[in-house]
Amino acid sequence: MSLKIAFCASNAPIAQSALAGLSRRYGNHAEKGADVIVALGGDGFMLHTLHRTEELAAPVYGMNRGTVGFLMNEYSEHALEERLAAAEEAVINPLSMRAHRADGSDHRALAINEVSLLRAGPQAARLAIHVDGKLRMPELVCDGALLATPAGSTAYNYSAHGPILPIGAEVLALTAVAAFRPRRWRGALLPKAAEVTFEVLEAEKRPVMAEADSQSVRDVVRVDIRSEPSVAHRVLFDPGHGLEERLIREQFV
């Protein structure tokens, strides 16, 4: 029995061309009721697809029609059904962000990769960090800070010199971005169940924005972050090229 495959693609011409060719060859079912969703694009489009389809039962299999493609498989039109049947599954729990703004409003979002706080003005940000309600760092002067999942540990977190985390690790990476004080603080590894609060000090003088997988909230005064076990993203990878293997391989580049 043939798999019911739903294809989606970014707006890039190369992705749209792949969408047309794959649809002609395998058909294109509606996402609701599909056995699997195939996303054509880069990592950004993959994250967008995972967020957009998080309430659907079908897993998502990405094929790279973008740039880096860390979350994607190699592109090919051939033997797709066989590749999907043999694919390995990784389950990713996102982070839940609740951002409190200076005007009193709250904004909630989910992040598969990371939640980051970034200075939004000419001066460095001043942040206090609480873990499970306990003040752990009274003042971090920096360009920003972030909390990353294992799946997102090779993205912005790695660029900020944070650690790469194995996909099965029950930890989160707390990483500073261009820390000025304390200069030698290299971040922390926290239990997956930890609840982290960033408090923005001198928020009016030193404005800060928060981002959850590129969903931005400006003028935040406090950001609460925790893992969201009730949401599970199912991502498929070709055998031998799963997310765990990619995370290990990335450390030897």
Residues serving a catalytic function are 43
Number of Cβ within 10 Å of residue 71's Cβ equals 30
* Residue 203 annotated as lining a ligand binding site: no
* Residue 161 annotated as lining a ligand binding site: no
* Residue 86 annotated as lining a ligand binding site: no
Residue 3: phi and psi, rounded to 5, are -70, 145
* Residue 64 annotated as lining a ligand binding site: no
* Residue 34 annotated as lining a ligand binding site: no
* Residue 48 annotated as lining a ligand binding site: yes
Q: What is the per-residue burial (b if ≥16 Cβ within 10 Å, else e) of 26-41?
A: bebbebeebbbbbbbb
* Residue 43 annotated as lining a ligand binding site: yes
Question: Are the C-beta atoms of 116 and 155 separated by less than 8 Å?
Answer: no
Cis peptide before 182 (omega within 30 of 0): yes
* Residue 178 annotated as lining a ligand binding site: yes
Alpha helices in 154-229 (DSSP H): 156-159
- The residue type found at 126 is R
Alpha helices in 92-192 (DSSP H): 156-159
* Residue 26 annotated as lining a ligand binding site: no
Feature table: binding site for NAD(+): 43-44, 48, 113-114, 143, 151, 154-159, 178, 215
Feature table: binding site: 43-44, 48, 113-114, 143, 151, 154-159, 178, 215
